Amino acid sequence: MEFDSIECVSSSDGIEEDEIPQLHPHIIRSQFSSSKTTTHKNNNGSSILCEGNNGGIAIHPATSVHELLECPVCTNSMYPPIHQCHNGHTICSTCKARVHNRCPTCRQELGDIRCLALEKVAESLELPCKFGSLGCPEIFPYYSKLKHEAACNFRPYNCPYAGSECAAVGDIPYLVTHLRDDHKVDMHSGCTFNHRYVKSNPREVENATWMLTVFNCFGQYFCLHFEAFQLGMAPVYMAFLRFMGDETDAQNYTYSLEVGGNGRKLIWEGTPRSIRDSHRKVRDSHDGLVIQRNMALFFSGGDRKELKLRVTGRIWKEQQNPDEGACIPNLCS
């Protein structure tokens, strides 16, 4: 559902055998393999020497340990349990199920052989966060790296556009450009806003219909959402603000929303949610200005056959008072 008119005034699965890629045929001999030393030529021409029952590994300098820990199927880093076939080719546990228990390099049955030697090598490694290019300076033990990266403050953001399952990810400047150019979202500067939403037939409420506007305020970007959706059997309208940044930074801002008419008004005040929280999560928590349809029609006036809502609001930043240690609001002019 789309609103008939909007006025905005703003002031400042499985893999078949023949589909299995034969990539990076790493060979590791663990204590489950024979004690015979094997020399294997990697894709880059380097040699990997692997010992047997003592679990030792000798690696040619031209081959990095990172390459040995790279799954030949998905090319992601491998974490315990790391599996290998009888010939010593390794594979991650996720891909072992995908290739139907058959080695992607030599086509032999994988079985349940663990490559404990390679798992032990991984324990000794310390690696930088994969978001280092985005600014993260941290270095972690190999097995702690994944947990950090899942919550890293420098990880890319998902697109906040709610009208479709958009797969775009990136930093904030990229997403702002993406919203403007690809989703044709309205962009405004300023920390106050005045929106008028008009719908000719308010009884036609489809689930998760919405509008999105982006505001540039205090050098930051905020997403203002306005939606109509079914809450149980009753249609409702909802407006809420999301901050384009992390939750810790979002705590520095406060916003208010106001809607009214016929001598009545509703006011909402709160802290914007970070776009780290999905649009659906914020909407389903009702963390915003929620207006029941009957009240919305009452605000619209007239014969209650047309929705005419005017939502006004502002954003301000809490500043620390250096003399008293108290927070005072900094209102955007």
Residues 264 and 145 in one domain: no
The mean pLDDT value of the chain amounts to 77
In this prediction, residue 253 carries a pLDDT of 97
CA-angle at 106, arms to 103 and 109, nearest 5°: 40
Q: Is the pLDDT of residue 159 over 80?
A: yes
Same domain, 270 and 176: yes
- Tell me whether residue 325 is in a domain: no
pLDDT digits (tens, 9 = 90+) for 65-116: 778 888 999 988 888 899 999 898 999 988 988 888 889 889 888 888 899 9
215 and 195 within one domain: yes
Question: Phi/psi zone of residue 133: left (φ > 0), alpha (ψ -120 to 50 degrees), beta?
Answer: alpha
Question: Which of the pair, 183 or 50, is modelled with greater confidence?
Answer: 183
Distance CA 275, CA 272 (A): 9
The pLDDT of residue 289: 95
Whether residues 105 and 186 share a domain: the answer is: no
Above pLDDT 70, what percent of the chain? 71
Predicted confidence (pLDDT) per residue in 21-43, tens digit = 444 444 443 333 333 334 333 43
Is 52 within the bounds of a domain?
Answer: no
CATH number at residue 125: 3.30.40.10
What is the number of domains present in the chain?
2
CATH number at 272 reads 2.60.210.10
Mean pLDDT value across residues 148-168 = 88
Confidence of residue 183 (pLDDT cuts 50, 70, 90): very high
Residues 311, 195 within the same domain: yes
Query: 289 and 192 in one domain?
Result: yes
Same-domain check for residues 190 and 297: yes
> What is the Cα–Cα distance from 133 to 150, expressed in whole angstroms?
16
* Domain that residue 303 falls in: 157-317
* 227-283 confidence digits (pLDDT tens): 888 877 778 889 999 999 999 999 999 999 999 888 889 999 999 999 999 888 998
In a domain? residue 123: yes
Judge whether 224 and 239 are in contact, CB under 8 Å. Answer: yes
State residue 244's pLDDT score.
96
